[in-house]
């Protein structure tokens, strides 16, 4: 049975939070708290006026099993979390113990409600239980219950570590360890003061937030060979769901790395249900690139987390830049699925 809910229905919030809680397959971008930021500010996206939002819950024997947070525009259904979002991984909400048959039943109900429409699911990570179901449908071809097209969309990198920093460092390649030690030595040799500031919970320092977004925008412009930063900066600083979430969500973390009290690198993200932090924003000030601030920030952040938390993984999201891999990063992948209903 598929039931439609309005956003402000307390029952929807309860179902959403129950399905998300302790579900190790899901990322923070699927949480109620993150999507609440999008819903609150969605009017700043003019094109949202031409979409219709659907919050649909599939139940069996009165037990909610799948929540479809979707919007419809131009005959295509997409995940609600794509609105004004820089999310690194998206997903449906579902019971952690859901079976393949229950997924099939849920999608069949969805098809009966939106016959002929296309459901496009982007940024579905390979750790997702939904990924395994849809990949199986895609591989089944003509034998599948419904047509599914799958393609790899994006490579991401995660840095796992244990409780001991020395053991973590020994696990790096000889060349990576040497480069990391050289970076620390260069900071000491040039008598620079090195420090790490960790912000957990709502980000209330407006000046520091603005400085971080300037670094991110500058780095983005360098990658895209873009000359003007002002409009992109305004977009990131004031009209990003990620920044709204940084300012409001309790699960938020930002690590700021300073040299001589100047912010030279930062990474912003959200704690997951499985003792990791996923970082959609990771950037360094290229002016200080010779000091390898990205590596130093990761190293110092791991030390902090080992000492103060149970977090044992840094998901650095999009891109497999060399410094991420040298710091023990492991590639994982997002996929795009197109389902013909």
Rg (CA), the chain: 21
Q: Is residue 50 predicted with pLDDT exceeding 90?
A: no
pLDDT at 46: 80
- The answer to whether 255 and 289 have CB atoms below 8 angstroms apart is no
- The answer to whether 240 and 248 have CB atoms below 8 angstroms apart is no
Q: Which helix (H) or strand (E) segment is 341 a member of?
A: none
User: Of 262, 130, 138, 144, which Cα lies nearest the Cα of 208?
Assistant: 262
d(CA 89, CA 99): 22
Query: Could you tell me whether strands 313-318 and 148-160 are parallel, antiparallel, or unpaired per DSSP bridges?
Result: antiparallel
Q: What residue spans of 255-311 are helical by DSSP H? A: 293-308
| Confidence band, pLDDT 50/70/90 cuts, at residue 311 | very high
- The answer to whether 326 and 172 have CB atoms below 8 angstroms apart is yes
Q: Is residue 2 predicted with pLDDT exceeding 90?
A: yes
pLDDT at 44: 81
Query: Could you tell me whether strands 118-125 and 76-79 are parallel, antiparallel, or unpaired per DSSP bridges?
Result: parallel
Could you give the angle at the alpha carbon of 271 between the alpha carbons of 64 and 330, nearest 5°?
105
| Confidence band, pLDDT 50/70/90 cuts, at residue 112 | very high
The conformational region for residue 198 under phi > 0 = left, psi -120 to 50 = alpha, else beta, is: beta
| Confidence band, pLDDT 50/70/90 cuts, at residue 308 | very high
- The answer to whether 100 and 133 have CB atoms below 8 angstroms apart is yes
d(CA 144, CA 228): 48
- The answer to whether 339 and 107 have CB atoms below 8 angstroms apart is yes
pLDDT at 174: 96
Q: Is residue 152 predicted with pLDDT exceeding 90?
A: yes
Mean pLDDT calculated for residue range 193-210:
97
Structure tokens at 13: 């919030």
- The answer to whether 290 and 119 have CB atoms below 8 angstroms apart is no
Q: What residue spans of 1-92 are helical by DSSP H? A: 10-20, 32-41
Q: Is residue 15 predicted with pLDDT exceeding 90?
A: yes
Mean pLDDT calculated for residue range 288-292:
96
pLDDT at 294: 96
pTM, two decimals, is 0.94
d(CA 256, CA 197): 5
Q: Is residue 12 predicted with pLDDT exceeding 90?
A: yes
pLDDT at 59: 98
Mean pLDDT calculated for residue range 50-60:
96
> Three-state DSSP class for 67?
strand
Could you give the angle at the alpha carbon of 159 between the alpha carbons of 155 and 163, nearest 5°?
160
pLDDT at 200: 98
The pLDDT tens digits of the residues spanning 224-261 come to: 999 889 999 999 999 999 999 999 999 999 999 999 99
Mean pLDDT calculated for residue range 88-113:
97
Cα 278 from chain centre: 6
């Amino acid at each position: 049975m598929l039931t439609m809910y309005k956003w402000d229905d307390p029952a929807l919030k309860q179902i959403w939070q129950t399905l998300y809680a302790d579900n190790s397959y899901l990322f923070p971008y699927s949480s109620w708290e993150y999507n609440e930021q999008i819903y609150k500010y969605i009017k700043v996206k003019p094109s949202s006026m031409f979409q219709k939002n659907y919050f649909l819950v599939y139940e069996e024997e009165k037990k909610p099993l799948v929540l479809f947070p979707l919007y419809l525009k131009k005959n295509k259904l997409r995940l609600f979390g794509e609105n004004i979002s820089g999310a690194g991984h998206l997903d449906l909400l579902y019971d952690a113990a859901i079976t393949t048959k229950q997924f099939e039943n849920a999608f069949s109900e969805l098809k009966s409600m939106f016959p002929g429409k296309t459901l496009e699911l982007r940024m579905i990570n390979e750790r997702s239980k939904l990924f395994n179901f849809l990949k199986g449908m895609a591989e089944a071809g003509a034998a599948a219950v419904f047509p599914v097209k799958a393609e790899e969309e994006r490579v991401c990198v995660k840095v796992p570590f244990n409780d001991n920093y020395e053991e973590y460092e020994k696990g790096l390649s000889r060349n990576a360890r040497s480069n990391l030690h050289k970076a620390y030595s260069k900071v000491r040799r040039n008598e620079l003061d090195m420090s790490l500031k960790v912000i957990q919970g709502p980000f209330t320092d407006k000046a520091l937030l603005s400085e971080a977004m300037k670094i991110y925008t500058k780095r983005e412009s360098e990658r895209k060979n873009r000359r003007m930063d002002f409009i992109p900066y305004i977009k990131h600083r004031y009209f990003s769901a990620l920044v709204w979430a940084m300012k409001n969500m309790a699960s938020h973390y930002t690590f700021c790395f300073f040299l001589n009290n100047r912010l030279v690198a930062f990474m912003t993200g959200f704690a997951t249900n499985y003792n990791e932090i996923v970082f959609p924003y990771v950037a360094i000030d290229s002016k200080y690139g010779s000091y390898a601030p990205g590596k130093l920030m990761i190293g110092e952040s791991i030390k902090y987390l080992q000492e103060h938390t149970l977090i044992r993984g840094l998901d650095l999201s999009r891109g497999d830049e060399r410094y991420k891999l040298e710091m023990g990063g492991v590639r994982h992948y997002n996929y795009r699925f197109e389902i013909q209903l």
